Amino acid sequence: MWVVTALVVQMFAAPSAWVVTQAGSFDTKEACEAAIASAVPSKLEADDLKRYEDGFQVYQCVKAIGPNDHEPPVK
């Protein structure tokens, strides 16, 4: 399952990342990326749009770990 995430990095503070729940979830990365392409920037509200246009906020697809998934071992 793939989800849309938003990321903002602030100097001297921890980064902020969240799942864009309004977008739903997707079976493939390609479907997730298509959802971003169709919604960003047209559906962003004023503050989010300004951060996106100025490069301070990005949207990307991340594969979510489900209850039956296992994280790959760290080498």
Residue 71 has a pLDDT of: 67
The 8-class DSSP code of residue 13 comes to S
Q: Give the mean pLDDT of the chain.
A: 90
- Asked if residue 42 belongs to a domain, the reply is yes
Amino acid at 40: V
pTM: 0.78
- Whether pLDDT at 70 is above 80: no
Residue 67 has a pLDDT of: 75
| Domain span at 27 | 2-63
- Number of domains into which the chain is organized: 1
Amino acid at 15: P
- Asked if residue 36 belongs to a domain, the reply is yes
Q: What is the dihedral of CA 38, 5, 55, 47, to 10 degrees?
A: 80
- Asked if residue 38 belongs to a domain, the reply is yes
- Whether pLDDT at 73 is above 80: no
Nearest CA among 39, 38, 60, 56 for reference residue 47: 56
Q: 12 or 26, which is more confident?
A: 26
- Asked if residue 74 belongs to a domain, the reply is no
Q: Is the dihedral of CA 37, 42, 48, 51 positive or negative?
A: positive
